[in-house]
Amino acid sequence: MSLPSFADLKVIEFSHAILGPSCGLILADLGMDVLKIEPVEGDPTRALKGFGVGYFPMFNRNKKSLALNLKSDAGRAIVLKLAEQADVLLENYAPGTMDRLGLGYEVLSQLNPRLIYCALKGYLPGPYEKRVALDEVVQMQSGIAYMTGPVGQPLRAGVSVVDVLAGAFSALGVLAALRERDRTGRGQLVRGGLFESAAYLVGQHMVYQPLLGEPIPPMPGKPRSWAIYQPFETRDGDLVFVGVTSDKHWQRFCEVFNRPDLLADESLATNNQRYHAFERLTADLTAMFKQMSTSEVLAGCERAEIPFAPVARPEDLLEDPHLLAAGALWRVQVGEAVSCNLPALPLAFSRGRLELRRQPPKVGEHSAEVLRALGYTEAEIAQLKRAGVIGGCE
């Protein structure tokens, strides 16, 4: 299922890495016709190793690919033709790049006044806007890394959380601008920023100092608002996260795990009392869980109806029974001869789930198709191919 109101919307995506592609992914999964413009030799993200090996296959499904030399006059002429027909343009190139190519907002909005032009950058307008930023840079700058690591050891989150969030916020901005266009008939410039998205994430922690009059400590350096809200090791050597976040949780926890002694201890009766008894309580429960098997801990937490989870690795989600049953995993081609389950857009609608319509494209897989639709002849397409203006083509 794709959303009918989006199926006829054309999106041009100039992007690399995660920020821009994650925005385009959301629009593509919702059903928009997203055309990824990449260099003739292919998006450099395709060749990344290490942690970057999953960037392209995860964030470029449901898109077409046009491999194009944007530095050539013929390549820019193709973009201008596309822009005349487009509803949305996304770009997350370095500040000023699109303007130098002659493809900035001022130029393209004159060509197509209905165009929604979404520029995703490290920073929104202000003193920092010319800086180049990456996910990890703004995690350090915003306080995310400070809050994540132990005291004195700032640590980035284990996923590109800011890239993905900024992409999602930008997609939300595009949808808002499209709705505004329904009313006015005109497009506009939409900006998304990494730093501002990171700041939004730490907003809840920004309140701490003004309200309590002291700097907030990193999260690993102090117990949370609940005394029992952490991983515990089982007899099997596994880690299970257990949360007791209310007094009702506490009562059920003690009953299910056969701890009448804890329930009878009046110094542990309320959440705030348990908070102040953090060290004593943690030592007690650490010893208790260490004597239990993983299955016993998981079953007990489920019976007690408290928050819990096995501490998983990313590969554990490839065959997660809940995600599979919910239709929340799609089989995606991630290599020449390799496919695996990857998360779908995390939305469900009463009429059904969204669907995988296209595998991540090969370099320039749709170049010829796109040019034919623009009115180029086969001879012209062949000439553009020979001149290195376009890549791919069947």
Q: Write down the architecture of domain 4-201+364-391 according to CATH.
A: 3-Layer(aba) Sandwich (3.40)
Q: For residue range 291-331, what is the model confidence (pLDDT) as tens digits? A: 999 999 999 999 999 999 999 999 999 999 999 999 999 99
pLDDT per residue over 231-245, tens digit each?
A: 999 999 999 999 999
| CA angle (317 as vertex; 313, 319 as ends), nearest 5 | 135
Parse the chain into domains and list their residue ranges.
4-201+364-391, 222-314
Instruction: Encode pLDDT of 141-195 as tens digits.
Output: 999 999 999 999 999 999 999 999 999 999 999 999 999 999 999 999 999 999 9
Query: What whole-number distance in Å separates Cα of residue 368 and Cα of residue 371?
Result: 5
For residue 222, pLDDT beyond 80: no
Q: Which stretch of DSSP H or E encloses residue 201?
A: helix 194-201
Check: pTM over 0.95? Answer yes or no. no
The proportion of the chain whose per-residue pLDDT surpasses 70, expressed as a percent, equals: 98
For 70-129, the pLDDT digits (tens) are 999 999 999 999 999 999 999 999 999 999 999 999 999 999 999 999 999 999 999 999
State the DSSP H helix or E strand holding residue 343, giving kind and residue range, or none if neither.
strand 338-343
204, exposed or middle or buried, with CB in 10 Å at 0-12, 13-18, 19+? Answer: exposed
How many other CB atoms are found less than 10 A from the CB of residue 169?
18
- CATH of the structural domain 222-314, one choice from 3.40.50.300, 3.30.1540.10, 1.10.3660.10, 3.40.920.10: 3.30.1540.10
144 class by beta-carbon count within 10 Å (0-12 exposed, 13-18 middle, 19+ buried): buried
Here the tokens at position 295 are 């299955």
* pLDDT for residue 333: 96
